[in-house]
Amino acid sequence: MTCQGCYALIMLTERPLLSRDEVLLALDPAGRAGDSAFRRLKLGGFITGGIEVKPRRGGHVNGTVTAFCALNRDAATAYRKQRPDLALRLAARAAKLEASGPALRLAEVAKRETPDDVGELDLNGIYGRVVRGDRRPADALARNVAKARRALGKALADIGVSTIVGTLVRIDGDTAEVLSAEGERYTLPASVLPPAPIALGSPLSVRVESLGEGALWTVVEPAWSDIPAVDLRADPFADLRPRLPAGLDDLLDRAGDARPLALIGPSLAWR
């Protein structure tokens, strides 16, 4: 059942943790930045060391996943835009968040195996574990990151970065539409959407960066929702009336051609 009453309480934010590659892409949107650039940034204190998660699988530690507070991407952007002062400030804030209680608890939760672990234990795998296990630390971290980004809003605007977080409400051929938490609707090219399992109702964050001379760099990613599994594709009135039967098309076909309606009266005045 869709709980529309609950929907108003859902908090949507950017995902609180990013992969190393996502941070690197902010350093060079063309994707040319590699290990040495990353090391240089880290040594200079322009990005943090990240949170190390050692996920267990089959009773053994299964490699190490390093996840970075999302503010590191803003720090890398600031560095690219010749704002090392801002990059240092953002990295310092990110370091605090990575050392915070929610981040440490999240790393603990992510270590634990869950019955539905499938696929690679990369950052997406870690998010999956957290959602299946105990998502409270991730919710708290997401809230804290969002709060920090709001506080740094002016500085982010100075480097041309703005973010919209919302819900995918339409995919129609070449375009898609996102409804922000503030009720604004944004149209995007469908080609910028992340790959499946994105579907109608998915929370998305749209990060837009001005690259100068009118050029924009748009990154669309899954967003973090603190209430999982609200199926927005379900009929908002489903629990209040009979369900439409499965195989409706067959039923309608068997019922024969629908009769055309007879509209005999004049139209009412529209306002």
Partner 1 sequence: MARRLIEPPTVRIAGADDAEAVTSFRCGHRPWYVQDAAKVIRRVESVLGTPAAIIHRTEVLLFEEGGEEEDRLIALSILQQAHDSRTADLVVLAVSEVLQGAWLRERPARPLCVAVLEDTLRFAAREGYQRILAMAAEQNTKSVRLITRAGFTSVTQLDGDYVLYQAALPSIDDAS
Residues at the site binding partner 1, with contacts judged by CB under 8 A: 2, 4-5, 7-8, 166-170, 177, 179, 183, 185, 200-201, 232-237, 240-245, 248-249, 251-252, 255-271
CB of 242 to partner 1, least distance (A): 4
CB of 46 to partner 1, least distance (A): 37
CB of 14 to partner 1, least distance (A): 18
Nearer to partner 1, 144 or 167 (CB): 167
Cα separation, 209 vs 180, in Å, equals: 18
CB of 217 to partner 1, least distance (A): 26
Instruction: Give me the amino acid identity at 20.
Output: R
CB of 192 to partner 1, least distance (A): 19
User: What region, left, alpha or beta, does residue 123 occupy, with left being phi > 0 and alpha being psi -120 to 50 degrees?
Assistant: alpha
Cα separation, 159 vs 208, in Å, equals: 11
CB of 259 to partner 1, least distance (A): 5
* DSSP character string of 198-217: --TT-EEEEEEEEEETTEEE
Quick one: three-class SS letters along 106-167? HHHHHHCCCCCCCCCCCHHHHHHHHHHCCCHHHHHHHHHHHHHHHHCHHHHHHCCEEEEEEE
Nearer to partner 1, 77 or 205 (CB): 205
Q: Which residues contact 259 (CB under 8 A, 6 or more apart)?
A: none
Nearer to partner 1, 60 or 243 (CB): 243
Nearer to partner 1, 7 or 151 (CB): 7
Nearer to partner 1, 7 or 211 (CB): 7
The helix (H) or strand (E) run that includes residue 20 is helix 20-27
Neighbouring CB atoms inside 10 A of 147's CB total: 12
Cα separation, 210 vs 172, in Å, equals: 26
Do 56 and 111 meet the contact criterion of CB atoms below 8 Å apart? Answer: yes
Nearer to partner 1, 106 or 230 (CB): 230
